[in-house]
Chains A and B, each alone.
Chain A
């Protein structure tokens, strides 16, 4: 680890010894680095008793390991033992720690389970389906009256349930955030129906809150299902942690003692509950450092996360405010572009309410002599491409550009950033077709995915042991290293055996042959000349598959562990497999009717989807763009946060992905089949607010408008994050969308105008 040489502004932050401090940082200013150094300083300064820790709270799992690794490095540099004296957690991790220590306090058994998002979604969908079955007329209130009958039927079958699920999800999350139980909701609704003193509604319809009725019923059903499983979801975990702290003063005091210093990274995305939990843990006299960049708050939609918590904190009495404005990441041109986006937003954004989306400070280049100087400036390396691409053309143009650029820059790093996963997958397909090297950073971590994928292939075969295609896939998993072996012969053998297996018509002849029909002997004879040791190789494979077949009788966790022990050598893979074994076992316990096909699907979900594997996921956490020189990294802008590349493509910057709350904009949350362009998620939350408010007032449509403004603000910040990922070269493109009616995003035009004006 190279010694950290803080620049003057960083040094001021590091001078902290206690109290409250807020740090407003810009992209690339080394805020995480500085905060790690500060944590290490506190750990090594001797202010902690041996049962105390510096608590570092950060936003996403991937940051936890980065942070912990850095602090450990700093601590070791000072000649002390790493891993003790501090604890790095996401809010979920912290909540888990708090609840896990005193589960009974909040009504949990000691073996309570946490269902992840996927499982929670499954439960939610069941609850929504149940509700929809018994409330089919509910859709009438919201579907557009212009829908033709056939189309309406179609919407009711697919689109409406999906939307109802989205609405219910946001509703439940918000209710949990506000610590409201289903029972509370029903009570309030009843009071509202009965007419509370002081509440007066002009009509019955003004009093009714149909989305709360719906959300509340689904919420109740969903919670019941969780309790039945002895489980809580991620939102419960946080809600219960806060409850535990409020309920037991002694416990709170004990935790305050344990964590005398709390350092919070990415504080711009702090949510209401995070704020409350940390405020409680810090206490009136405690030590709290919050670092963040309000301009990079990109997790706010339908959550209570908001950059205003950080901004307000910076203005609080007694809080020392610091800035980290210097960044050596990008060229001056790119910095100028990012700063211009701030200025334009603040002064010229067409919707005044959105002008607060971005704030100063501006990004400043590093001072002379800084260990991290800005790359030499080249304004020609910024392209804001105003060409009117169709989505397909845009993909083609970007891939063409990459095909030209990659061979000339084998040692440089490049990323294509998309606003959504789906666009990323489309790009990956296009890259595949052109045979361009890529690394996809769209889903769960690589080791989770690969380990789960490998195991999935084998379990998939075991569920269908008669299939020769699947048996061939097993072989490919077993010999996956051969695919890229240096020896041409090994590679050829890999292909030859895979093909031979696929062609095998009767799998039993390959694995459990009758004396006269041994596929292995025949194949070995056939290919003997090219691969002399093939018989032994195939016999090994046969023995292995037989063993695995016998293992199908074991409980799923033991089956997975058996496979893993044969398949993996890397500790991280084995650890992931162990964790998968435990997860699948749990799934199988809660679905005793599941057999291998269902469990294979579950594994596939893990392999395919983002799934929170707390603690495990090495390469997400340690993702280092420098390791992918000469390859195209494909990521969403969200995933790219905290990372940097020499060249960055920012795609699909149109008014659908980056709307500006203007009349001609389209909004992803406003469904075409819903009347009056209502954003039902936003309306549901507004109805919930109305139910809780003193006057009980709810005006339909107001929340939809407000949501537009909030979304526009968040997307501006997302654009800002995207731009600031680039070190030397930046390319912005837009497309006309699926129906060809989309336009370049308003900020895109503003940036392009600036660039043209500056020549």
Chain B
């Protein structure tokens, strides 16, 4: 039996949806069990002998598909073919790869005879940086105050939005300009950004590089939509489009698409088309969600897909949330959805005594002046739940709109002190901040003197301290002081034998011997692979050798440090990917690459510049699910896993109400819904009222989303002064205060 987890109500809804040859649309609030039923639907298909290879499960991002992955791993699932679980973006990439030879030329790639290179966000950022930097020197973007790396990523983001929404990227500038109500001189950045995008696109086409936007565009234009090409022209991509589309439609005759509200208009277009051809389809849509809007999601468009299905089934019975939290949700919704400021407000009827008490039971809070006091309180409460009430840590989540590194570190540390396992949904540090990475990169610079990178003495001391097992900071510093010299630009490492005996004694002979092994290894490598020799070793191979032959051996720092080993692995992987992408261009082309620095040097500089953040999610995936989760609120929502207890940090903080502000892009203006028309620019102005509406709406959806994923209780972390010492009086605080005013005083007083 596979349906043990379904309630009678859910079963009834599922049965009502009919058999597996229909197209069904499930919709309703989060927490009503739609995905659970979706999983059941998948399992029933398999039970009904539908070939697994004919089933395609689509989700907007991988985390949202996790319940399907989990279900397919159940022992009760019959072995056989494999169900495909993918995102539309992933599908696009696979298809572009598969049909490359057919579409490369019509899509405008300069070398259709050579294979494509798919860019990650990191490598796309790398190329964008290279192309935009000279323009910055010319005075581009002078009027906008923004960190350079964010500037690059926003231009990439614009390209992506245009691709997933389905309008030409050349329209971005006009749309943003038409919406702009601020200072007029700022408008020039909306001319400059598309110019950069055009440069980038041209470069990609010239070098067979495909960033996410190009993958989606090529797929949508050349592999899915036959209507766009000319059937009369045998040389065009019509055949490719037909081939690919037919291949997909014939392969996958059973569709399940979950969380369509978080997917993009282009994904919806594909689904619309597919619905006409598939044998069965289940589309699932959360109401009042749309948390990926800033990535191009279009929840309203997702909901409209229901019209194309044979059956619409509404799930309205919450199976997750405690009654108090449901009531709190209703109250908060009212507090947030009120008439615009200054407008009339309807009086609400008083709350019943029972509801008041249920709300009070579901909401715990304490007010603090300082931020660290709030963190202490949160940690104490969590420790109480785990140790005294025996709540599994995995049932607790700590949420904030943003998590700074300092906040994450402080809270993790506090929980550790209280013997509570915790995990964070972002790696605790970017790869470049990992001490082990810095150690490896410092040693790399030493082994490659031709790069001209001369590490600081401190970095050398820290690298030695990590590389040599048992070397403490004091001796590391002494050692670096004595042996490391940069003279006339040349780097030297004195051998241990040349050190004065008294100092050798201080450093100890054991550590001296280890240092000597390290030194000899690096020196020999440097000699063997000097630019004058013919030997060449890719940078990732160098790192592998450094790790394998030396650092992981007995007597060296990574020997027993598994964490450092993991970091080394991640770094090697990042370098390898970088080499595949950047190295390929270098080998295949002249142009920019011909006068380029060695790849390793370039990688090192990029990491130092922050262009390559080299952040890997692998780290947290390895963490136990049975730990308290610390995550940004939206990340938690995108995991779609309800928990018993939620802690909301910095409730007074404005981050809860503010959308990510990006001067060069705009999630609403660059959406399909935005009334942009070249001939009517009045309509297209983004006003303060639009902004307030958007924020209010986003906060409302966020709060509701969180409440619907909480089974028992919400804890509010309140501090008068935020992390940076600013007073916090954000919209969420006001909304909660409004709700509390409707409770009896002793329950509703937020401040002592």
**Chain A: residues with CB nearer than 8 A to chain B?**
50-51, 81-84, 87, 96, 100-112, 224, 226-232, 243-244, 247-248, 250-251, 254, 257-258, 462-466, 506-508, 511-512, 514, 546, 549-550, 552-555, 557-558, 561-562, 565, 571-572, 574-575, 578-579, 581-582, 585, 589, 592-593, 595-596, 613-616
B143 — which chain A residues lie within 8 A by C-beta? 107
Which segment of B51-59, B193-201, B383-391, B716-724 sits at the interface? Answer: B716-724
Instruction: Give complex CA distance A258, B409 in Å.
Output: 36
Residue of A nearest to B407 (CB): A578
A571 — which chain B residues lie within 8 A by C-beta? 368-370, 372-373
**Chain B: residues with CB nearer than 8 A to chain A?**
142-148, 150, 181-183, 186, 189, 341-342, 368-373, 404-406, 409-410, 413, 429, 433, 435, 438, 456, 458-459, 462, 465-466, 472-475, 477-478, 481, 506, 508, 608-610, 654, 658, 660-663, 687-689, 691-692, 720-721, 723-727, 729, 734, 737-738, 741, 749-751
For B472, B692, B720, the residue with the greatest tally of chain A CB atoms inside 10 Å of its CB is B472
B145 — which chain A residues lie within 8 A by C-beta? 107-109, 112, 226-227, 230-232
Establish whether residues A561 and B409, one from each chain, have CB atoms under 8 Å apart when the complex forms. yes
A549 — which chain B residues lie within 8 A by C-beta? 472-474
Instruction: Give complex CA distance A10, B23 in Å.
Output: 76
Establish whether residues A508 and B472, one from each chain, have CB atoms under 8 Å apart when the complex forms. yes
Establish whether residues B751 and A82, one from each chain, have CB atoms under 8 Å apart when the complex forms. yes
Instruction: Give complex CA distance A685, B326 in Å.
Output: 63
Task: Write 25 A-B pairs (CB below 8 A) sorted by A numbering.
Answer: A50-B741, A84-B751, A87-B727, A102-B691, A103-B663, A104-B182, A107-B183, A108-B661, A109-B661, A226-B145, A227-B144, A232-B145, A247-B181, A250-B687, A250-B689, A465-B473, A506-B506, A549-B472, A552-B473, A553-B462, A555-B405, A561-B406, A574-B372, A575-B721, A592-B610
Query: Known contacts A109-B661, A248-B688; is A585 also within 8 Å of B725 by CB?
Result: no
**Of the residues B142, B433, B472, B688, contact of A512 by C-beta under 8 Å:** B472
**Closest chain A CB from B140 CB (angstroms):** 11
A506 — which chain B residues lie within 8 A by C-beta? 506
Query: Known contacts A227-B142, A571-B369; is A51 also within 8 Å of B734 by CB?
Result: yes
Establish whether residues A254 and B661, one from each chain, have CB atoms under 8 Å apart when the complex forms. no
Query: Known contacts A512-B472, A557-B405; is A615 also within 8 Å of B459 by CB?
Result: no
**Closest chain A CB from B376 CB (angstroms):** 9
**Closest chain B CB from A172 CB (angstroms):** 16
B692 — which chain A residues lie within 8 A by C-beta? 254
**Of the residues A558, A562, A575, contact of B405 by C-beta under 8 Å:** A558
Supply 5 further A-B pairs (C-beta < 8 A) apart from A228-B148, A250-B688: A101-B658, A107-B189, A550-B473, A615-B721, A615-B726
**Closest chain B CB from A560 CB (angstroms):** 8
Establish whether residues B182 and A579, one from each chain, have CB atoms under 8 Å apart when the complex forms. no
Establish whether residues B723 and A578, one from each chain, have CB atoms under 8 Å apart when the complex forms. yes
Establish whether residues B721 and A595, one from each chain, have CB atoms under 8 Å apart when the complex forms. no
**Closest chain A CB from B396 CB (angstroms):** 22
**Of the residues B663, B687, B723, contact of A107 by C-beta under 8 Å:** B663
For B372, B373, B609, the residue with the greatest tally of chain A CB atoms inside 10 Å of its CB is B372
A107 — which chain B residues lie within 8 A by C-beta? 143-145, 182-183, 186, 189, 663
Instruction: Give complex CA distance A343, B575 in Å.
Output: 79
Establish whether residues A248 and B182, one from each chain, have CB atoms under 8 Å apart when the complex forms. yes
B477 — which chain A residues lie within 8 A by C-beta? 464-466
Establish whether residues A574 and B661, one from each chain, have CB atoms under 8 Å apart when the complex forms. no
Instruction: Give complex CA distance A462, B726 in Å.
Output: 31
Establish whether residues A555 and B473, one from each chain, have CB atoms under 8 Å apart when the complex forms. no
Query: Known contacts A106-B182, A107-B143, A112-B145; is A572 also within 8 Å of B409 by CB?
Result: no
For A514, A549, A555, the residue with the greatest tally of chain B CB atoms inside 10 Å of its CB is A555
Establish whether residues A247 and B182, one from each chain, have CB atoms under 8 Å apart when the complex forms. yes
Establish whether residues B751 and A83, one from each chain, have CB atoms under 8 Å apart when the complex forms. yes
Establish whether residues B466 and A553, one from each chain, have CB atoms under 8 Å apart when the complex forms. yes
**Closest chain B CB from A469 CB (angstroms):** 14
Establish whether residues B186 and A561, one from each chain, have CB atoms under 8 Å apart when the complex forms. no
A514 — which chain B residues lie within 8 A by C-beta? 508
Instruction: Give complex CA distance A224, B750 in Å.
Output: 45
9 nearest A-B residue pairs (beta carbon): A110-B661, A615-B725, A250-B688, A553-B435, A616-B725, A575-B370, A230-B147, A549-B473, A109-B146
Instruction: Give complex CA distance A555, B437 in Å.
Output: 12
Establish whether residues B342 and A257, one from each chain, have CB atoms under 8 Å apart when the complex forms. yes
A229 — which chain B residues lie within 8 A by C-beta? 147
Establish whether residues B723 and A582, one from each chain, have CB atoms under 8 Å apart when the complex forms. yes
For B462, B688, B692, the residue with the greatest tally of chain A CB atoms inside 10 Å of its CB is B688
Instruction: Give complex CA distance A370, B145 in Å.
Output: 56
**Of the residues B372, B458, B478, B663, contact of A596 by C-beta under 8 Å:** B458
For A81, A82, A112, A585, the residue with the greatest tally of chain B CB atoms inside 10 Å of its CB is A81
**Closest chain A CB from B313 CB (angstroms):** 39
B370 — which chain A residues lie within 8 A by C-beta? 571-572, 574-575
Establish whether residues A254 and B688, one from each chain, have CB atoms under 8 Å apart when the complex forms. yes
**Of the residues B148, B474, B726, contact of A614 by C-beta under 8 Å:** B726
Instruction: Give complex CA distance A558, B413 in Å.
Output: 10
B147 — which chain A residues lie within 8 A by C-beta? 109, 111, 229-230
Establish whether residues A83 and B724, one from each chain, have CB atoms under 8 Å apart when the complex forms. no
**Of the residues A100, A104, A464, A574, contact of B663 by C-beta under 8 Å:** A104
**Closest chain A CB from B202 CB (angstroms):** 27
A228 — which chain B residues lie within 8 A by C-beta? 148
For A50, A258, A613, the residue with the greatest tally of chain B CB atoms inside 10 Å of its CB is A50
Residue of A nearest to B510 (CB): A514
B741 — which chain A residues lie within 8 A by C-beta? 50
B183 — which chain A residues lie within 8 A by C-beta? 105-107, 243, 247
Establish whether residues A248 and B181, one from each chain, have CB atoms under 8 Å apart when the complex forms. yes
Query: Known contacts A571-B373, A582-B723; is A593 also within 8 Å of B456 by CB?
Result: yes
**Of the residues B372, B409, B737, contact of A84 by C-beta under 8 Å:** B737
Instruction: Give complex CA distance A6, B438 in Å.
Output: 65
Residue of A nearest to B417 (CB): A565
A50 — which chain B residues lie within 8 A by C-beta? 734, 737-738, 741
Residue of A nearest to B689 (CB): A250
Instruction: Give complex CA distance A244, B372 in Å.
Output: 33
A232 — which chain B residues lie within 8 A by C-beta? 145
A251 — which chain B residues lie within 8 A by C-beta? 688
A110 — which chain B residues lie within 8 A by C-beta? 658, 660-662
A546 — which chain B residues lie within 8 A by C-beta? 472
A257 — which chain B residues lie within 8 A by C-beta? 341-342
B466 — which chain A residues lie within 8 A by C-beta? 553
**Closest chain A CB from B209 CB (angstroms):** 27
A592 — which chain B residues lie within 8 A by C-beta? 608-610
**Closest chain A CB from B510 CB (angstroms):** 10
Establish whether residues A103 and B661, one from each chain, have CB atoms under 8 Å apart when the complex forms. yes
**Closest chain A CB from B144 CB (angstroms):** 5
Instruction: Give complex CA distance A51, B692 in Å.
Output: 14
B148 — which chain A residues lie within 8 A by C-beta? 228
A581 — which chain B residues lie within 8 A by C-beta? 406
Instruction: Give complex CA distance A81, B734 in Å.
Output: 13
Residue of A nearest to B609 (CB): A592
Establish whether residues B410 and A578, one from each chain, have CB atoms under 8 Å apart when the complex forms. yes
A102 — which chain B residues lie within 8 A by C-beta? 688, 691
A574 — which chain B residues lie within 8 A by C-beta? 370, 372-373
**Of the residues B373, B406, B720, B737, contact of A585 by C-beta under 8 Å:** B406
**Closest chain A CB from B668 CB (angstroms):** 12
Instruction: Give complex CA distance A226, B145 in Å.
Output: 8
Instruction: Give complex CA distance A596, B461 in Å.
Output: 12
For A228, A230, A464, the residue with the greatest tally of chain B CB atoms inside 10 Å of its CB is A230
Query: Known contacts A506-B506, A552-B462, A558-B405; is A254 also within 8 Å of B341 by CB?
Result: yes
Instruction: Give complex CA distance A185, B547 in Å.
Output: 58
B724 — which chain A residues lie within 8 A by C-beta? 579, 582, 614-615
Instruction: Give complex CA distance A549, B461 in Å.
Output: 12
Establish whether residues A508 and B475, one from each chain, have CB atoms under 8 Å apart when the complex forms. yes
**Closest chain A CB from B401 CB (angstroms):** 11
Instruction: Give complex CA distance A205, B459 in Å.
Output: 55
Establish whether residues A595 and B144, one from each chain, have CB atoms under 8 Å apart when the complex forms. no
